[in-house]
Amino acid sequence: MWTKKLAGTLAAIYLLTGTALAAGPEWTLEETMESEPDEDLPAGFFDGDFIPTDAEGLDVPAPSAILMEKETGAVLFEKNADARLRPASVTKVMTILLIAEAVDSGALSLDDVITCSAYAAGMGGSQVFLEEGERMTLREMLKCIVVSSANDAAVAVAEHMAGSEQAFAARMNQRALELGMVNTNFTNCTGLMDDPDHLTSARDIALMSRELLLNHGWIREYTTIWMDTIRNGAFGLSNTNKMVRFYEGATGLKTGYTSSAGHCLSATAMRDGVEYIAVVLHCGSSAERFESARTLLNYAFGAYTLAGPKPAQVLPLIPVTLGKAGFVQPVLPESPKLLVKKTDAASLEVKVELDEELRAPVEAGQEVGVMTVTLNGAVLSETPVVAADAVPRLTWWDVAKRMLGTLFCGDR
């Protein structure tokens, strides 16, 4: 009978050499890492093809799907996006989000050492064969969770953070509520169990995926890994998300599969500084989920662009009465980010309206106007224009000094 360590060693040998072993049970690398069946995709599967310019032209076989732009949160396509379904290991997007938030808040360090409990070691499905008492840094545990969807690593970290998986699941649900994930209920941190109460939706998955990428961008160092190792190179990791290797600009994010959940995926990709999130659930095959995600992402990249309209010229100074300075510079704190069709980008119109005059005191950041962006007469955004600096009001002594200066020095 093979031990966990032997299985891990053999997996690493297969990964590094690509050579099948002559003796022992038949297995593949993916089967030692991921419980979901690994299906071969046709050659050129991820190559470019027809890109529709209208959402009505999309043919997405996934029963439930959504397409979202990361920066604005704009939804470009949805299909049964609020249906409550089992997410399988896509659950771990929330697990990863809570880990990333703890790291960025200082509550955890990637160098912290996590000890695997007997309960965590007993997790089935996707795993890295942790043994009870085995110690591994959070950095390595996180790699196992993100790349190989390791249930044992996910539970070990959950226990380290919250004391138990159940307590960690409560944190997951609290964070889901904060993010507006109204169709979500997590009962565990892995998605391994086909619990009828463990449910979420394509829209909710997109929301937590967006939060992860928007505010914890360093996670891409993990989500873009195709192959790697742990245990000083003795155990191989392989990503089941084939888009990471074959789709241009892929940034992640998470696959999932159980027999009842079907094939699920939160796929993310970035090109020219614009990142999209395509979530597909309950697909009938691995090929179907990748085809659905690819179609959605191709549509987004082909049809849309992220515009940052600005005033055509430097904004003029605004006079200030009774101020220690006679003028204040109006500024735009930040340019609005608008997701528009590429065919409409050149038609955006920018109009700035400023106060004709201000009366001191003027506060730094005080609203002094508005910039309006329109497309074919429709208002897309209204952004406040503010004062760059504060202008204090003149005191009576300031006024007296000015009058005396004028009286004795004259107008020069």
pLDDT tens track for 222-276: 999 999 999 999 999 999 899 999 999 999 999 999 999 999 999 999 999 999 9
CB contact at 8 A, 367 and 385: yes
**Residue 111 reports pLDDT greater than 90:** yes
Averaged pLDDT, 305-331? 94
**Residue 32 reports pLDDT greater than 90:** no
- Return the pLDDT at 403: 65
User: From the candidates 35, 64, 149, 266, which is the catalytic residue?
Assistant: 149
- Return the pLDDT at 384: 96
C-alpha gyration radius of the chain: 28
Q: Are 4-304 and 318-409 in the same CATH fold?
A: no
- Return the pLDDT at 30: 33
Better-predicted residue by pLDDT, 37 or 9: 37
Of 3.40.710.10, 3.20.20.70, 3.40.50.300, 3.30.930.10, which CATH number belongs to 4-304?
A: 3.40.710.10
Q: Encoding tokens for residue 119?
A: 């309960």
**Residue 33 reports pLDDT greater than 50:** no
Averaged pLDDT, 275-295? 96
- Could you report the per-residue pLDDT of 85-104, keeping only the tens digit for each? 999 999 999 999 999 999 99
Q: Encoding tokens for residue 338?
A: 């608008």
How far apart (Å, rounded) are the C-alpha atoms in residues 257 and 247? 20
How far apart (Å, rounded) are the C-alpha atoms in residues 392 and 399? 13
Averaged pLDDT, 378-404? 85
Q: Encoding tokens for residue 344?
A: 């409409």
SS3 label, residue 64: strand
- Could you report the per-residue pLDDT of 171-188, keeping only the tens digit for each? 999 999 999 999 999 999
- Return the pLDDT at 219: 98
Better-predicted residue by pLDDT, 32 or 147: 147
User: From the candidates 70, 79, 92, 242, which is the catalytic residue?
Assistant: 92
Better-predicted residue by pLDDT, 224 or 40: 224
Superfamily of domain 318-409: D-Ala-D-Ala carboxypeptidase, C-terminal domain (2.60.410.10)
CB contact at 8 A, 315 and 352: yes
- Could you report the per-residue pLDDT of 324-360, keeping only the tens digit for each? 999 999 999 988 999 999 999 999 999 999 999 999 9
Domain ranges of the chain: 4-304, 318-409
Averaged pLDDT, 208-233? 97
287 Cβ neighbours under 8 A, 6+ residues apart: 39, 41, 42, 45
- Return the pLDDT at 11: 44
Prediction pTM value? 0.85
Strands 358-359 and 318-321, bridge-based pairing: parallel
**Residue 151 reports pLDDT greater than 60:** yes
User: From the candidates 89, 148, 209, 286, which is the catalytic residue?
Assistant: 89
Residue 165 confidence class, pLDDT cut points 50, 70, 90:
very high
Averaged pLDDT, 275-281? 98
Clarify whether 92 is annotated catalytic.
yes
* Average pLDDT over all residues of the chain: 88
- Return the pLDDT at 10: 44
Of the listed ranges 12-26, 58-72, 206-220, the one predicted with least confidence: 12-26
- Return the pLDDT at 312: 87
Residue 394 confidence class, pLDDT cut points 50, 70, 90:
confident
Averaged pLDDT, 75-83? 97
**Residue 396 reports pLDDT greater than 80:** no
Helix H segments across 163-266? Answer: 165-178, 202-215, 220-223, 243-246
Share above pLDDT 70 across residues of the chain, in percent, rounded to a whole number: 84
- Return the pLDDT at 22: 29
Better-predicted residue by pLDDT, 335 or 384: 384
Q: Encoding tokens for residue 288?
A: 């179907």
Query: Cis link prior to 253 (omega < 30° from 0)?
Result: yes
How far apart (Å, rounded) are the C-alpha atoms in residues 271 and 249? 6
240 Cβ neighbours under 8 A, 6+ residues apart: 30, 33, 34, 36, 38, 148, 149, 255
Averaged pLDDT, 378-390? 96
